[in-house]
Amino acid sequence: MLGHSSTRVSSGVDRCRTRSLFFSRASCDVYALSVFAIPAEINGLPAVTGNGPRAIVVQANVSEPSQVTSLFDAAENAFESPVHILVNSAGVLDPKYPSIANTSVEDFDRTFEGGGRIILLTSSMTRGLKPGFGAYAASKAAVETMVKILAKELKGTGITANCVAPGPIATEMFYEGKSSEVVEKIAAENPFGRVGEVRDVVPLVGFLAGDGGEWINGQIIPVNGGYV
Protein backbone atom coordinates (compact mmCIF):
# COMPACT_ATOMS: atom_id res chain seq x y z
CA MET A 1 0.00 0.00 0.00
CA LEU A 2 2.71 2.44 0.95
CA GLY A 3 5.52 1.46 -1.39
CA HIS A 4 7.80 4.44 -1.84
CA SER A 5 6.97 7.70 -0.15
CA SER A 6 7.78 11.26 -1.09
CA THR A 7 8.07 13.37 2.03
CA ARG A 8 8.72 17.02 1.25
CA VAL A 9 10.01 18.83 4.29
CA SER A 10 10.92 22.42 4.97
CA SER A 11 10.84 23.24 8.69
CA GLY A 12 11.40 22.00 12.23
CA VAL A 13 8.23 19.92 12.47
CA ASP A 14 9.26 18.05 9.35
CA ARG A 15 12.63 16.89 10.63
CA CYS A 16 10.99 14.71 13.27
CA ARG A 17 8.04 13.77 11.05
CA THR A 18 10.33 12.42 8.35
CA ARG A 19 12.09 10.20 10.87
CA SER A 20 8.72 9.07 12.23
CA LEU A 21 7.43 8.06 8.81
CA PHE A 22 10.62 6.19 8.10
CA PHE A 23 10.85 4.32 11.36
CA SER A 24 7.14 3.42 11.42
CA ARG A 25 7.04 2.28 7.79
CA ALA A 26 10.42 0.78 6.95
CA SER A 27 9.27 -0.10 3.43
CA CYS A 28 9.13 3.58 2.52
CA ASP A 29 11.85 5.53 0.83
CA VAL A 30 12.02 9.13 1.98
CA TYR A 31 12.29 12.15 -0.27
CA ALA A 32 13.17 15.25 1.72
CA LEU A 33 12.95 18.84 0.49
CA SER A 34 15.38 21.38 1.92
CA VAL A 35 16.37 19.52 5.12
CA PHE A 36 19.77 18.31 4.07
CA ALA A 37 20.77 16.40 7.23
CA ILE A 38 17.92 13.90 7.14
CA PRO A 39 18.97 11.84 4.08
CA ALA A 40 22.46 11.37 5.49
CA GLU A 41 20.99 10.15 8.80
CA ILE A 42 18.62 7.69 7.15
CA ASN A 43 21.11 6.38 4.60
CA GLY A 44 23.55 5.75 7.45
CA LEU A 45 21.16 3.46 9.31
CA PRO A 46 21.53 -0.34 9.22
CA ALA A 47 19.61 -1.92 6.37
CA VAL A 48 16.02 -2.78 7.25
CA THR A 49 14.90 -4.00 3.84
CA GLY A 50 16.58 -5.84 1.00
CA ASN A 51 18.01 -2.63 -0.40
CA GLY A 52 18.34 -0.82 2.91
CA PRO A 53 16.97 2.63 3.69
CA ARG A 54 17.17 5.20 0.93
CA ALA A 55 16.66 8.95 0.98
CA ILE A 56 17.41 11.86 -1.31
CA VAL A 57 17.09 15.62 -0.99
CA VAL A 58 16.11 18.09 -3.69
CA GLN A 59 15.81 21.84 -3.23
CA ALA A 60 13.04 23.71 -5.03
CA ASN A 61 10.59 26.59 -4.78
CA VAL A 62 7.16 24.98 -4.32
CA SER A 63 5.42 28.17 -5.44
CA GLU A 64 6.73 27.47 -8.96
CA PRO A 65 4.68 24.76 -10.75
CA SER A 66 7.58 23.69 -12.95
CA GLN A 67 9.79 23.12 -9.91
CA VAL A 68 7.06 21.10 -8.19
CA THR A 69 6.98 18.88 -11.28
CA SER A 70 10.74 18.47 -11.03
CA LEU A 71 10.41 17.29 -7.41
CA PHE A 72 8.11 14.43 -8.40
CA ASP A 73 10.27 13.60 -11.43
CA ALA A 74 13.36 13.41 -9.21
CA ALA A 75 11.65 11.09 -6.72
CA GLU A 76 10.24 8.78 -9.38
CA ASN A 77 13.56 8.58 -11.22
CA ALA A 78 15.56 7.93 -8.05
CA PHE A 79 13.26 5.25 -6.63
CA GLU A 80 11.93 3.87 -9.94
CA SER A 81 8.40 4.06 -8.57
CA PRO A 82 5.43 6.42 -8.51
CA VAL A 83 4.93 8.54 -5.39
CA HIS A 84 2.43 7.01 -2.96
CA ILE A 85 2.62 9.35 0.03
CA LEU A 86 2.94 13.15 -0.02
CA VAL A 87 3.44 15.21 3.13
CA ASN A 88 3.57 18.93 2.43
CA SER A 89 4.41 21.55 5.04
CA ALA A 90 5.04 24.73 3.10
CA GLY A 91 4.12 27.90 4.96
CA VAL A 92 5.05 31.56 5.26
CA LEU A 93 4.60 33.49 8.52
CA ASP A 94 5.37 37.23 8.62
CA PRO A 95 7.50 37.82 11.77
CA LYS A 96 6.13 41.39 11.93
CA TYR A 97 2.68 39.92 12.74
CA PRO A 98 0.84 42.80 11.01
CA SER A 99 -2.89 43.39 11.25
CA ILE A 100 -4.86 42.53 8.12
CA ALA A 101 -5.21 46.24 7.32
CA ASN A 102 -1.44 46.66 7.55
CA THR A 103 -0.56 43.58 5.50
CA SER A 104 0.70 44.65 2.09
CA VAL A 105 -0.52 43.09 -1.14
CA GLU A 106 3.02 41.81 -1.71
CA ASP A 107 3.01 40.05 1.68
CA PHE A 108 -0.37 38.46 0.94
CA ASP A 109 0.95 37.20 -2.39
CA ARG A 110 4.09 35.78 -0.77
CA THR A 111 2.07 34.01 1.92
CA PHE A 112 -0.45 32.39 -0.45
CA GLU A 113 2.08 31.08 -3.01
CA GLY A 114 2.62 27.99 -2.19
CA GLY A 115 -4.10 3.90 -3.78
CA GLY A 116 -1.91 6.70 -1.67
CA ARG A 117 -1.90 9.48 0.89
CA ILE A 118 -1.84 13.27 0.67
CA ILE A 119 -1.21 14.95 4.03
CA LEU A 120 -1.04 18.74 4.17
CA LEU A 121 0.10 20.67 7.22
CA THR A 122 -2.07 23.67 8.06
CA SER A 123 -2.50 25.37 11.43
CA SER A 124 -4.84 25.62 14.40
CA MET A 125 -4.62 29.37 13.83
CA THR A 126 -7.49 28.94 11.35
CA ARG A 127 -9.55 28.41 14.52
CA GLY A 128 -7.51 30.47 16.99
CA LEU A 129 -7.86 33.63 14.87
CA LYS A 130 -5.24 35.63 16.77
CA PRO A 131 -4.54 39.27 15.80
CA GLY A 132 -1.42 39.59 13.65
CA PHE A 133 -1.95 36.26 11.90
CA GLY A 134 -4.45 37.41 9.26
CA ALA A 135 -2.57 36.49 6.09
CA TYR A 136 -1.08 33.33 7.62
CA ALA A 137 -4.43 32.02 8.87
CA ALA A 138 -6.09 32.87 5.57
CA SER A 139 -3.44 30.97 3.60
CA LYS A 140 -3.91 27.88 5.77
CA ALA A 141 -7.71 28.12 5.59
CA ALA A 142 -7.40 28.11 1.81
CA VAL A 143 -5.39 24.87 1.98
CA GLU A 144 -8.00 23.29 4.26
CA THR A 145 -10.81 24.20 1.85
CA MET A 146 -8.82 22.85 -1.08
CA VAL A 147 -8.10 19.50 0.60
CA LYS A 148 -11.80 18.93 1.36
CA ILE A 149 -12.60 19.40 -2.32
CA LEU A 150 -9.58 17.37 -3.42
CA ALA A 151 -10.71 14.40 -1.33
CA LYS A 152 -13.97 14.35 -3.31
CA GLU A 153 -12.26 14.84 -6.66
CA LEU A 154 -10.02 11.83 -5.96
CA LYS A 155 -13.08 9.56 -5.76
CA GLY A 156 -12.30 6.09 -7.06
CA THR A 157 -8.51 6.45 -6.87
CA GLY A 158 -8.01 5.05 -3.37
CA ILE A 159 -6.04 8.21 -2.50
CA THR A 160 -6.92 10.05 0.71
CA ALA A 161 -6.34 13.76 1.33
CA ASN A 162 -6.28 15.24 4.83
CA CYS A 163 -4.90 18.17 6.78
CA VAL A 164 -3.08 18.08 10.09
CA ALA A 165 -3.48 21.39 11.93
CA PRO A 166 -0.88 21.82 14.70
CA GLY A 167 -1.07 24.51 17.34
CA PRO A 168 2.02 26.53 18.32
CA ILE A 169 5.05 24.26 17.83
CA ALA A 170 8.57 25.03 19.04
CA THR A 171 10.24 25.57 15.66
CA GLU A 172 12.42 28.35 14.28
CA MET A 173 9.43 29.96 12.58
CA PHE A 174 7.44 29.99 15.82
CA TYR A 175 10.13 31.79 17.78
CA GLU A 176 10.90 34.35 15.07
CA GLY A 177 9.81 37.85 16.12
CA LYS A 178 8.56 36.77 19.59
CA SER A 179 9.97 37.88 22.91
CA SER A 180 10.39 35.38 25.75
CA GLU A 181 7.41 37.00 27.47
CA VAL A 182 5.19 36.38 24.44
CA VAL A 183 6.35 32.76 24.22
CA GLU A 184 5.56 32.25 27.92
CA LYS A 185 2.11 33.77 27.45
CA ILE A 186 1.35 31.44 24.53
CA ALA A 187 2.51 28.44 26.56
CA ALA A 188 0.30 29.48 29.48
CA GLU A 189 -2.75 29.54 27.17
CA ASN A 190 -2.42 25.79 26.60
CA PRO A 191 -3.99 23.40 29.14
CA PHE A 192 -0.64 21.56 29.25
CA GLY A 193 1.17 24.79 30.11
CA ARG A 194 3.69 24.45 27.31
CA VAL A 195 4.26 25.00 23.62
CA GLY A 196 3.87 21.95 21.42
CA GLU A 197 6.85 19.94 20.21
CA VAL A 198 7.44 18.04 16.99
CA ARG A 199 6.97 14.73 18.84
CA ASP A 200 3.37 15.78 19.53
CA VAL A 201 2.57 15.96 15.81
CA VAL A 202 4.47 13.13 14.14
CA PRO A 203 2.43 10.15 15.42
CA LEU A 204 -0.72 11.50 13.77
CA VAL A 205 1.04 12.09 10.46
CA GLY A 206 2.54 8.61 10.59
CA PHE A 207 -0.87 7.09 11.31
CA LEU A 208 -2.54 8.91 8.41
CA ALA A 209 0.23 7.71 6.08
CA GLY A 210 -0.30 4.09 7.09
CA ASP A 211 -2.93 1.49 6.33
CA GLY A 212 -4.93 2.46 9.42
CA GLY A 213 -5.60 5.90 7.95
CA GLU A 214 -7.47 4.58 4.92
CA TRP A 215 -10.96 5.53 6.19
CA ILE A 216 -9.96 9.05 7.20
CA ASN A 217 -10.44 11.32 4.22
CA GLY A 218 -11.20 14.99 3.61
CA GLN A 219 -10.64 15.87 7.27
CA ILE A 220 -8.96 18.73 9.14
CA ILE A 221 -7.45 17.22 12.29
CA PRO A 222 -6.25 19.62 15.01
CA VAL A 223 -3.32 18.53 17.17
CA ASN A 224 -2.76 21.31 19.68
CA GLY A 225 -3.13 19.98 23.24
CA GLY A 226 -6.37 21.89 23.68
CA TYR A 227 -4.91 25.29 22.72
CA VAL A 228 -7.99 25.84 20.52
CA separation for the pair 32, 29 (Å, rounded): 10
Question: Could you tell me which of 103, 173, 42 has the C-alpha nearest to residue 112?
Answer: 103
Judge whether 175 counts as a catalytic residue: no
Q: Kindly report the CA angle at 101 between 95 and 105, in degrees rounded to 5?
A: 75
CA distances from 161 to 82, 90, 116, 119 (A): 17, 16, 9, 6
Instruction: Check if the beta carbon of residue 97 is closer than 8 Å to that of residue 177.
Output: yes
CA separation for the pair 164, 169 (Å, rounded): 13
Spatial neighbors of 132 by CB under 8 A, at least 6 apart, are 97, 98, 99
From the CB of residue 197, how many other CB atoms can be counted at a distance below 10 Å? 15
Could you say which of 31, 97, 136, 227 is catalytic? 136
Residue positions annotated with a catalytic role: 136
